Structure 1
Amino acid sequence: MKNIAIIGASGFVGSALLKEALNRGHRVTAIVRNPEKITLNHPNLTIKKGDVMIADSVEDLLKGCDTVISAFNPGWSNPMVYRDTQKAYSFIFEGAKKAGIKRIIIVGGVGSLFINGTRLIDMGVAEETILPGAKSLAALLYSLQKDEKELDWVFFSPAANIVFGERTGKFRLGKDDLITDSEGKSYISVEDYALAMIDEIENPQHHFERFTIGY
């Protein structure tokens, strides 16, 4: 059993991660700005109201946990999404270290994945509304690759399309290249993404690197 903190546990991906972790017997601390959005009742669930944009609060929010999953997202339509992503993650990493956390897994972006040597965000296919957020997550990955040597970090990029679906347990994992099916489509259910994330926590296969998933 792990003691897992999930930042952003009420969101689209975060709520799937929360359900998967609890169903597999882990203790979970859900860190959310609006606790009323979590309607689950579970003996292994602790809900903490908190905002990782407040630097001094992060250490206390994470204390007592051994692994952090961050599904933080300041909002794709937030005009300051790039700045807020960078700022929040600097606070998350600092707070995690102060709290004695050794491992953090980030719900990463797809834009920094490659197709035939070209990043998705350089191919002109991303919607303008999500491009700042995609660029911010790409910058976060590169910063981790260059500078973060203390926290055992993992950046888990989903497929190009992540949607509600089924928990099949049948998917492929990769590293830096977008995974597509035989028809060239790249997708994953949020349920299978969550399954693979908790698999990584229970049986670590990646350290100081990114990996990805798809059918």
Structure 2
Amino acid sequence: MKIAVIGATGMVGSRVTDEAVRRGHTVTAVSRRLPASDSLPEGVDPVAADVTDLDALRPVLAAADVAVLTIRPAPGSEATLAPATTGVLDVAAATGTPLLIVGGAGPLRSPDEPDLLIVDNPAYIPAEWRDIAVASTEQFRAAERHSGAKWTYLSPPAILEPGERTGAYRKGTDTLLVDADGLSRISAEDLAVGVVDELEAPSGLSRLTFAH
């Protein structure tokens, strides 16, 4: 399978790239700047393009069987996330390329209060994370408003950080997953396992979440 990973040098994008290559897929790694050649797995095709450069993204998505969007704005630039995602969705619609968006936990429902979104639940989103949680919620809404592209929005759990690849995870849809201790977390490595599993065997769902 030919996979385009947009944001390929970030925490999630780099691990999705590694996981896809590990399974024998062909990956085009899109990032704002070309990474050092020794920082990518052998055989990966690097492309330097900003996520807002739609003319540069169009041939990349046209050549791919599926694309993964894994971008995260810098602090203070959260408002750029939804418009940038809309632009990528426009390109995906034009090229007919399915798009898996790795977003944020903000738009998920609270496990104990289904009418309360995680973005508004301080039990899971402390004040210092709220701006990016709001941005991810707007990102999801931008995808909902987009009727032309085939997309899936993947929300990670409340805590996503580098860790161990166990290959095990739980799958949900629109509600935050927690463990027996009330924790909601996954390693970036196991999130990438779930991403590539979804690419290989699409669930057909528009919303997904994974957690340990």
Shift of 1:189: 1.0
Instruction: Please name the residue that 2:155 is paired with.
Output: 157
Shift of 1:149: 3.0
Kindly report the root-mean-square deviation, in angstroms, between the aligned alpha carbons of the 2 structures: 1.7
Instruction: Please name the residue that 1:191 is paired with.
Output: 189
Question: Is 1:211 aligned to residue 200 of structure 2?
Answer: no
Instruction: Please name the residue that 1:6 is paired with.
Output: 5
**TM-score when normalising by structure 1:** 0.89
1:101, 1:37 → 2: CA distance?
Answer: 31
Shift of 1:68: 0.6
Gapped regions of structure 1 (runs ≥ 5):
none
Shift of 1:141: 1.4
**Cα deviation 1:11-50 (Å, max 9, x = unaligned):** 011111010000001100000012125612412x100000
1:205, 1:61 → 2: CA distance?
Answer: 24
Q: How many residues end up aligned between the 2 structures?
A: 207
2:41, 2:166 → 1: CA distance?
Answer: 25
1:104, 1:161 → 2: CA distance?
Answer: 23
Q: Judge conservation of contact 1:66–1:101 (CA < 8 Å) in 2.
A: no
Question: Is 1:119 aligned to residue 117 of structure 2?
Answer: yes
2:132 counterpart letter in structure 1 = G
**TM-score when normalising by structure 2:** 0.90
Shift of 1:62: 2.4
Instruction: Please name the residue that 2:104 is paired with.
Output: 109
Instruction: Please name the residue that 2:66 is paired with.
Output: 67
Q: Judge conservation of contact 1:163–1:189 (CA < 8 Å) in 2.
A: yes
**Cα deviation 1:125-178 (Å, max 9, x = unaligned):** 424443222212212212323x33332210111111112222212221111111
1:104, 1:9 → 2: CA distance?
Answer: 15
Q: Judge conservation of contact 1:68–1:101 (CA < 8 Å) in 2.
A: no
What percentage of residue pairs aligned between the two structures are identical?
30
Instruction: Please name the residue that 1:58 is paired with.
Output: 57
